[in-house]
Structure 1
Amino acid sequence: MKPAIYLSIFCLMTLFGCKSTAPLHTIEQLDIKRYSGTWYEIARITHRFEKGLEKVSATYTLRNDGKITVLNQGIKVSDPGVVKTAKGVAWIPDPSKPAQLKVSFFWPFAGNYWIIDLDADYQHALIGDPSRKYLWILSRTKTMDAATYNRLTDIAAKAGFDISKLDRIRQ
């Protein structure tokens, strides 16, 4: 009898202890030509590859083969004379989900680059991934008004991102 009780308790703990993540919704339509160009990082959940960087920008250039060249640049806070760059390639694996891109800076490894929100004028974007570990707030300009920033952080929070981990990026 006791083993059955312990097994039941273990199963219940496993069931209720697991964190379920709802599917991450992305925008339905994307004009990749309009999305191309330079974007400035307004805020991000910082990870190892961006630690210590400010004045970060990403430039997306559409290639003839339909893929996108990605050029990320940032200035090292500890050494303002050093520009750190990373060049990669992005693509849309499923044309029926154009806002769910993959990006690779080191083949064969690729990460998710999902466009969660994008204003009609292609001036502000919210980028994340289904794990909720990566999040960026981007703008075509180096600044963003508080109302737009708050709108995007509200969307991120409702989508399950921990916005307390967001770092504002000095441009």
Structure 2
Amino acid sequence: MTALLAASASLFNGGCTNSPPNPNPRADVPLQSVPVDLPRYMGRWYVIANIPYVAERGFVASRAEWTLRDDGRIDDVFIGLKGGFDGPERRYQFLDTVKPGSGGGEWSVRLFWPIHVTQLTLYVDPDYRYTILGYPGKTLGWVFAREPQISEETYRSLLARLDAMGYDTSRFRRVPQLPDQAGQPGFARPDGSD
């Protein structure tokens, strides 16, 4: 779902996310998805951090909920509060299809017919507590966790993985999941400003 919102933003902006050049020396190394155990991967994932873009800007307490369907596709729901913790809850429903031969790590996300985008699972820890999703081109990326908060040490280790993949990690902003996180250094602001 996150990739869908990202693609919508990309399409809305004429295919350009207006991102600055990526200074990472590994910026041109292609992203590779990792295999995942799809039934184990399903469920609720909190958005811990992302590279802010128009479709997710201004959301707090955001999460994705993935449900594996009998036909092998994935119901993908993005839920978040728009504009702050007292803002309205918004829900966006998408339908994802696992790319054959990807080991479950590459999904085609249908934004709306006939528009699809690719979402890559770049990392998932052995206990399926943390995952990193990416978008080809490295202009968009997400850190997810099963719980709304993670330790600073874990967050830094996930950013180090993104850095090793060629991302400009200075562009990531943490998404407030709890009211006391709003406005803290490194967190996105509920009003959508950086």
Q: What are the ranges of 5 or more consecutive residues in structure 1 without an aligned counterpart?
A: 1-18
**Corresponding residue number in structure 2 for 1:37:** 43
AA matched with 2:141 = L
SS of residue paired to 1:147: helix
Higher helix share: 1
**Corresponding residue number in structure 2 for 1:122:** 128
Q: Name the TM-score, length of structure 2 as normaliser.
A: 0.74
After superposing the two structures, state which structure 1 stretch, 117-126 or 93-102, moved more: 93-102
CA distance in 1, matches of 2:103, 2:137: 18
RMSD: 1.7
Superposition map of 1:82-101 within 5 A: 82-101=88-107
Q: Which residue of 23, 30, 54 maps to 1:23?
A: 30
Superposition map of 1:101-140 within 5 A: 101-140=107-146
Q: What are the ranges of 5 or more consecutive residues in structure 2 without an aligned counterpart?
A: 1-25, 178-194
CA distance in 2, matches of 1:149, 1:46: 17
Q: How far apart are residue 80 of structure 1 and its match?
A: 2.3
Change (3 A) 1:78 1:39: closer
Higher relative contact order (CA 8 A, sep 6+): 2
**4+ long deviations beyond 4 Å:** none
Q: Percent of aligned pairs with the same residue?
A: 28
Q: Name the TM-score, length of structure 1 as normaliser.
A: 0.83
Q: Deviations over 1:5-48 (max 9, x none)?
A: xxxxxxxxxxxxxx972121221x31110000000000001111
Structure number, greater radius of gyration? 1
Tell me if 1:70 matches 2:59: no
Conserved in 2, the CA contact under 8 Å of 1:100 and 1:114? yes
CA distance in 2, matches of 1:114, 1:72: 17
CA distance in 2, matches of 1:119, 1:168: 19
Change (3 A) 1:111 1:96: closer
Q: Deviations over 1:91-117 (max 9, x none)?
A: 112234421111123221122211111
**Corresponding residue number in structure 2 for 1:14:** none
Equivalent pairs counted in the alignment come to 152
CA distance in 2, matches of 1:81, 1:20: 37
**Corresponding residue number in structure 1 for 2:174:** 168
